Each structure stands twice: as structure tokens, then as C-alpha cells.
């Protein structure tokens, strides 16, 4: 591997960097703006296991409603969870609020990778990315895209997850001291646009001459991943309890599946395989249909039962106008269920 690999990649990035709302132009110094670390942090949290296209409107909304980490720190949990609805992986939203409050307590973001790791919800990747992109510190930033680039560049044959130690070591070897943030983002862009999972565009790659995987003739084979296990099937029931053009919504427990989100009452499907359970209120229930949803760990078929109520169910909850259900901030699963129920009326 030549010592010029990082220079070649940075030259490529100067010409081909994606223009993103949370990015600084290539080659520009880190902005002297208190909001800059906030924007970098927010984007990195949102981008975990989520596409750039999906994140853009959420990033725009969050930075409009809460333009600084101090604004987010004083926001209510319900408002943040509602604004996050549809983006998925809701533990990120809960950790977002916790982290914002800790940053506000400290008076701002710490600037070193080690101190950033102390913040709630920040793992190794996110802390390194913020240190490099927001503060210009040299940090070894390894996400799935970087992992793929490095595994091919050095022809790392050990299967994942065991290969991650070697991948990190090699990523460290080519990470320069200068332009740390640009280099991290260049590696991400290379992995997402050129060194793709399938059909990598090797002829366009600035590192093609150095790439051991390409020399071996099978770059697409790397990194070697373990065989995926089949996702289990789950079944459950949600209840559309309606009274006077209003539907009864509950707030799910703060931890666990879709924690802290508004939702339709259900039968506890996240904890059982058969979806057995009782309705939260007595009354004649009508089968409205079923919706299908896929989580990272399981497929779910959720039956939707309609109940006409005269009183509120026991326990905490709220009546929500059915005509404004899209503004309730329901997670995608329950948006599907609500749309099915409304279409059945």
C-alpha cells in the first residue's frame, strides 16, 4: 500500500464530494460556529442504519425546530419522539434527548474522541466521526462503508465480525493527520458511491491501483459476511378504539420496542409469538384487516381490531382526532394500522 493513498482519496473527494446539508465544503476549515458540532452530531445519529435520502427531511425539521443543542435539551420527550416518528430505531431518539441534556449541562460538546465517548448514546464510530468532522481531530472513523472499502483495499479474508480488528488497524494506517474530517467523509462517499456492496465501480475508484481485492479479481466478495439467519415471524393485534371521531392512543413504555412513542393499544406482540392477548376495553370488536411490518429482528403481521367505545379504556392514554392522526407522531407500524382503520370506516 502506497503512502499516497490518503492523498489520492482527498483529491478525489475535492472533486466528487456529495453536497449535504450537514457538510462543510471540501478543504474548508472547521466552521467557527457553536452550532456546527450539533449539526454534525445530529446527522451522524440520524444516519445510523438509515439512508441519506430518508434523513434529509428529518434533519431539516430538527434544525428548524431546535436550531441548537441547548434548544433540543429543553424540548419535551414527547415532542422529540413525535418529530422522530417514521425514522425508525427509536432508541436513537431517546438517547438523542439524553445526550443533548448532558451536553447542555457541560456547556457544549467536548472536542476529543475520548470525552465524546462519555456522552450517552455515543459509541466508538459516532464519537470518532464527531471528533474528526466537527473538530478536525485525527480519529479512525469506521462505519459499514469504510469497513467495506478497507476490507477490499487490503484483501482481508477473515470473515466478519472477526475481521473488524484488522480492518480498524488498516484504517488507522491510512488515516492522515491533516483534513481528518474530509478524509472520513471521503471514505464514506467512496463506499456509498463507488465501492458499493454489489457491482463496485472499480474503474472510477481513486484507489484502484492499490486495491488488493481488485488485483485478486473478486472485490465484490469482500468483506466476507456470516450467513444471515431467517427472521422469525410474529403475530399481534392492535386496537382502533374510536369515540366521537377520536381514537384512543397510548404512550409505549420508555424502553423496549418503539419505546416512548405514541401508539395504538395492542396485545403485547413484542413479547410473544402468537399475538394472544385481550382488548384493553370491553366492546364488540370488528376485524378491520392486518398490516405487515419488518423489524431488524423479526417480521410482524399485526391484525387491527376496531372497537366503538362509550368510555375511555382504563389506564393512561389520550383521545386524538382521527382526522389529525398523521400529526400524532406514530411510528410507521402504527401509521399503517391507522390508515387501514380509516380506510375501513
Average pLDDT of each block of 10 consecutive residues along the chain (345 residues)? Answer: 80 96 94 94 94 96 97 95 90 94 97 96 95 96 96 96 96 94 97 96 96 94 91 92 95 84 85 53 82 91 93 91 93 94 89
Considering the domain delimited by 5-221, tell me its CATH architecture. Answer: Orthogonal Bundle (1.10)
192: closest CA among 46, 50, 15, 297? 50
Dmax (CA) of the chain: 75
- C-alpha cell recorded at residue 304: 387491527
- Residues of each domain in the chain carrying CATH 1.10.340.30: 5-221
Q: What 8-state DSSP symbol labels residue 210?
A: T
Of all helices (H) and strands (E), which one includes residue 320? strand 318-321
- Residues of each domain in the chain carrying CATH 3.90.79.10: 233-344
Write down the pLDDT at residue 275: 45
Write down the pLDDT at residue 270: 56
Write down the pLDDT at residue 158: 96
- Enter the CATH code of domain 233-344: 3.90.79.10
- Give the residue numbers marked as catalytic: 44
Write down the pLDDT at residue 322: 95
* DSSP reduced 3-state for 230: coil
133: closest CA among 29, 281, 255? 29
205: closest CA among 180, 179, 224, 187? 187
Write down the pLDDT at residue 283: 64
Write down the pLDDT at residue 278: 63
d(CA 153, CA 42): 30
Distance of CA 21 to the CA centre of its chain: 17
User: Cβ neighbours of residue 32 under 8 Å, at least 6 residues apart?
Assistant: none
177: closest CA among 37, 6, 1? 6
Whether the Cβ atoms of residue 291 and residue 337 lie closer than 8 Å to each other: yes
- C-alpha cell recorded at residue 178: 491533516
Write down the pLDDT at residue 268: 82
Amino acid at each position: 500500500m502506497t503512502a499516497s493513498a490518503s492523498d489520492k482519496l482527498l483529491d478525489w473527494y475535492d472533486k466528487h464530494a456529495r453536497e449535504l446539508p450537514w457538510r462543510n465544503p471540501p478543504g474548508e476549515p472547521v466552521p467557527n460556529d457553536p452550532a456546527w458540532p450539533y449539526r454534525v452530531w445530529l446527522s451522524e445519529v440520524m444516519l445510523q442504519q438509515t439512508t441519506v435520502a430518508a434523513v434529509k427531511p428529518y434533519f431539516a425539521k430538527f434544525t428548524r425546530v431546535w436550531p441548537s443543542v441547548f434548544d433540543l435539551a429543553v424540548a419535551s420527550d414527547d415532542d422529540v419522539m413525535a418529530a422522530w416518528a417514521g425514522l425508525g430505531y427509536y432508541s436513537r431518539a431517546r438517547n438523542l434527548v439524553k445526550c443533548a441534556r448532558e451536553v447542555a449541562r457541560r456547556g457544549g460538546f467536548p472536542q476529543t474522541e475520548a470525552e465524546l465517548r462519555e456522552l450517552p448514546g455515543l459509541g466508538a464510530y459516532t464519537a470518532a466521526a464527531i471528533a474528526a468532522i466537527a473538530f478536525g481531530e485525527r480519529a479512525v472513523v469506521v462505519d459499514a462503508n469504510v469497513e467495506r472499502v478497507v476490507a477490499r483495499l487490503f484483501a482481508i479474508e477473515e470473515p466478519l465480525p472477526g475481521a473488524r480488528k484488522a480492518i480498524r488497524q488498516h484504517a488507522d494506517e491510512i488515516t492522515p493527520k491533516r483534513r481528518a474530517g474530509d478524509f472520513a467523509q471521503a471514505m464514506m462517499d467512496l463506499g456509498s458511491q463507488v465501492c458499493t456492496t454489489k457491482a463496485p465501480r472499480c474503474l472510477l475508484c481513486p484507489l484502484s491501483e492499490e486495491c488488493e481485492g481488485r488485483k485478486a479479481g473478486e472485490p465484490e466478495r469482500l468483506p466476507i459476511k456470516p450467513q444471515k439467519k431467517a427472521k422469525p415471524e410474529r403475530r399481534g393485534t392492535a386496537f382502533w378504539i374510536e369515540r366521537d371521531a377520536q381514537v384512543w392512543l397510548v404512550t409505549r413504555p420508555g424502553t423496549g420496542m418503539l419505546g416512548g412513542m405514541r401508539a395504538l393499544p395492542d396485545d403485547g406482540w413484542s413479547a410473544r409469538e402468537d399475538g394472544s392477548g385481550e382488548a384493553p376495553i370491553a366492546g364488540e370488536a370488528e376485524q378491520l384487516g392486518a398490516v405487515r411490518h419488518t423489524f431488524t429482528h423479526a417480521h410482524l403481521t399485526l391484525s387491527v381490531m376496531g372497537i366503538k367505545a362509550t368510555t375511555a379504556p382504563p389506564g393512561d392514554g389520550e383521545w386524538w382526532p382521527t382526522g389529525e392522526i398523521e400529526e400524532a407522531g406514530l411510528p410507521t407500524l402504527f401509521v399503517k394500522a391507522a390508515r387501514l382503520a380509516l380506510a375501513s370506516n
